Amino acid sequence: MLTEKQTLLAAFDDAWSHKWESFEGVTKDLTEEEVQFQHPAYVDEKQEDGWPLPGTILWQLVHIEYWYTYYIECLERPTDTSSTLPQVNAKSTLAEAMQQLLATRKTLRDRIHDLPDEGLDFMLLGRIRTGEFIRMIIRHDAWHSSQIAVARRLYRSANK
Amino acid sequence: MLTQKQEILASFDEVWSHKWESIDAVLKDMTDDEARFVHPVYDGIEREEGFPSNGSILWHLAHLAFCYRHYSEGLRAMPAKPADTSGHEPASVEDAIEDLKRSRHALREEIAGLEDNAFDQQVWFGDTVAQFIRMIIRHDAWHSAQIAVARRLYKMR
């Protein structure tokens, strides 16, 4: 039987690399053109300062990495309610964005791994149980991987 | 600290009802017209027997309900392969959501009824029960996210 932390880490890893419905599965053989593509359904969305165009796969990659940075901050300073959202550190190419995402994800995994088992009961920032927070992270990963899959379909359809 | 089963059940419940990235949240105020809409990007995909048109939100709902029944059967039959499950083509979005809730409730009962040591056993395709249920939860999040995009495509049609 796995502990709660082992269960969470297994789910965290599955969301990234499982053969079905995972980040690695949907990002296989991505091209630069594909990640920069914006479907017309997103053209009315305002582009935030420093961010890729909304609806692009590049936006999804930067968004996931941006929130990993915040999650790390929360886990490193679990009682610091004054912490603010990080500055976006957007990359402009697929290779750069992916490299940054991989590095930040590794740090996030290390932070989760290093939590003591009883740390999962701690109320993060006084608001959310740490275990629930990590479940949210995992769900968020699956959510965006899935939207990348649709973005790839939209790109293929537009380029037939 | 939670046990493995408690953690898995918490994940299972939250992917349905958490305020962020959940099925419940993406289904809010869904209309029948919206649920039946198929964006042209799904044109040409062959329709499966017993299922709504591929790419529609109704398809996602029917697919999830179908999978829940299949998963329940898989847990009951393990380690053997479950019997084939049939699709249910919903008459409306209300019907689809009702069927989804019913089959999801039955699946949750199956999971909740497992002994703690059952999570290391294997299901029919070789994964452990724990891996299998983690996949079920991820699959829920996956389809919720695609329903969210389908709603955007409907609005921008």
Selected residues 31-70 of chain A with any CB under 8 Å from a CB in chain B: 40-42
**Contacts across the A-B interface (CB distance below 8 Å):** 111
Contact A30, A57 (CB under 8 A): yes
> For chain B, which residues lie within 8 Å of any Cβ of chain A, measuring from their own Cβ?
1-4, 6-8, 10-11, 14-15, 18, 20-22, 40-41, 116-117, 119-120, 130-131, 134-135, 137-139, 141-146, 148-149, 152-153, 156
Chain segment A99-149, per-residue pLDDT in tens: 999 999 999 999 999 999 999 999 999 999 999 999 999 999 999 999 999
Q: What is the mean pLDDT of residues B53-66?
A: 97
Q: Are A111 and A65 in contact (CB under 8 A)?
A: no
% pLDDT > 90, chain A: 90
User: Which of B30, B28, B25 has its CA nearest to residue B58?
Assistant: B30
Question: Residue B44's closest chain A neighbor by CA?
Answer: A157
Over chain A, what is the mean pLDDT? 96
pLDDT mean over B57-81: 97
Q: Distances from the Cα of B65 to the Cαs of A56, B15, B58, in angstroms?
A: 30, 15, 11
Q: Give per-residue pLDDT as tens, A56-106.
A: 999 999 999 999 999 999 999 999 988 788 999 888 899 999 999 999 999
Q: Which residues of A touch B144 (CB under 8 A)?
A: 143, 146
Q: What residues form DSSP beta bridges with A124?
A: A128
What integer is the mean pLDDT of B42-70? 94
Q: Give B37-54 pLDDT, tens digit per residue.
A: 999 999 889 898 889 999
ipTM rounded to 2 decimals: 0.95
CB A7 within 8 A of CB A133: no
DSSP run (H or E) holding B138: helix B129-155
**Residue in A20, A117, A146 closest to B145 by CB:** A146
3-state secondary structure chain A: CCCHHHHHHHHHHHHHHCCCCCHHHHHCCCCHHHHHCCCHHHCCCCCCCCCCCCCCHHHHHHHHHHHHHHHHHHHHCCCCCCCCCCCCCCCCCHHHHHHHHHHHHHHHHHHHHHCCHHHHHCEECCCEEHHHHHHHHHHHHHHHHHHHHHHHHHHHHHCC
Chain B touched by A135 (CB under 8 Å): yes
Whether the Cβ atoms of residue A18 and residue B139 lie closer than 8 Å to each other: no
* Cα separation values, A153 from A34, A38, A149, B24, B61, Å: 10, 12, 7, 25, 20
State whether residue A129 sits within 8 Å of chain B by CB.
no
Structure-block tokens of residue A9: 């880490």
Which residue in B1, B41, B144 is closest to A118 by CB distance? Answer: B1
Measured in angstroms, the CA of A15 and the nearest CA of chain B are apart by: 7
Question: How would residue B88 be classed by pLDDT, with cut points 50, 70 and 90?
Answer: confident
Contacts of A128 in chain B (CB under 8 A): none
Interface check for A131 against chain B (CB to CB < 8 A): the answer is yes
Please answer whether residues A39 and A55 qualify as being in contact, where contact means their C-beta atoms are separated by less than 8 angstroms. yes
Residue of chain B whose Cα is closest to the Cα of A138: B138
Phi, psi (5° rounding) for residue A55?
85, -10
Residue B78 CA to chain centroid, in angstroms?
A: 20
Instruction: To the nearest 10°, report the CA torsion of A29, A60, A111, B11.
Output: -100
pTM of the predicted model as reported, rounded to 2 decimal places:
0.96
DSSP conformation class of B151: H
B1 contacts in A (CB within 8 Å)? 3-4, 117-118, 120-121
Q: What is the pLDDT of residue B6?
A: 97
Q: How far apart are the first and last CA of chain A?
A: 49
Nearest chain A CA: its distance from B113 CA (Å): 16
